[in-house]
């Protein structure tokens, strides 16, 4: 589809979705984003009791964390057209790009796993969709200790392939 073919006339449903996300941004994200920006140490952002967890919980209560996941796995992908998804990300990004990036990065592995036919991965995606408290958080390994995200375009050349690995020790997932 070319840009000139995009219909910029929003439907009533798209306007309602945009307005709902805009309210969430103004009432929840912006105040929490300001509060997070004023924390004295970066580790305070993810500490117990941080307002970050309230933002994640409220984002999930709206179901927005499931926007790219098929209904069969608990998501709402089929309910949203491309313009609706664009409007969601635009409103979130306008409100607070840091929190928006947090929401997106925490969803990346689940968006990807939703494409897999593997039953274990599909269960993980369902669990993620049902988690409205923010207990299941994904991450996006975009940089490596000895190189950046350039591994994405190297077609598996070992020198540039992903090198960080997750290691499960008890209930904790550590990098190694």
Kindly report, residue by residue over 14-45, the tens digit of the pLDDT: 999 999 999 999 999 999 999 999 999 999 99
Half-sphere exposure of 24 (CA within 13 A, CB side): 25
In the numeric block, the tokens 């006339």 are attached to 9
- Across 99-118, average pLDDT: 91
Cβ neighbors of 143 (< 8 A, separation 6 or more) are 149
- Across 52-72, average pLDDT: 96
What are the phi and psi torsion angles at 52 (to 5°)?
Answer: -55, -40
pLDDT in the model for residue 148: 61
- 69-107: pLDDT as tens digits: 999 999 999 889 888 999 999 999 999 999 999 999 999
Neighbours of 30 (CB within 10 A): 15
Q: Does the pLDDT of residue 157 top 70, yes or no?
A: no
Q: Tokens for 145?
A: 């200790």
Q: Go through the domains of the chain in sequence order and give each one's CATH number.
A: 3-130 (1.10.540.10), 141-176 (no CATH)
């Amino acid at each position: 589809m070319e840009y000139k073919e995009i219909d910029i006339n929003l439907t009533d449903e798209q306007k309602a979705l945009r307005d709902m996300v805009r309210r969430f941004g103004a009432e929840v994200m912006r105040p929490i984003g300001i509060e997070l920006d004023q924390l004295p140490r970066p580790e305070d952002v993810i500490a117990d009791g941080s307002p970050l967890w309230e933002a994640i919980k409220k984002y999930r209560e709206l179901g927005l964390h499931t926007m790219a996941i098929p209904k069969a796995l608990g998501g709402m992908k089929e309910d949203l057209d491309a313009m609706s998804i664009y409007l969601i990300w635009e409103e979130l990004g306008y409100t607070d790009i840091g929190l928006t990036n947090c929401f997106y990065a925490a969803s990346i592995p689940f968006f990807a796993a939703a494409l897999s036919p593997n039953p274990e991965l599909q269960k993980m995606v369902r669990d993620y969709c049902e988690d409205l408290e923010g207990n299941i958080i994904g991450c996006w390994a975009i940089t490596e200790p000895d190189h950046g995200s350039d591994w994405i375009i190297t077609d598996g050349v070992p020198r540039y392939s992903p090198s960080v690995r997750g290691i499960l020790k008890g209930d904790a997932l550590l990098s190694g």
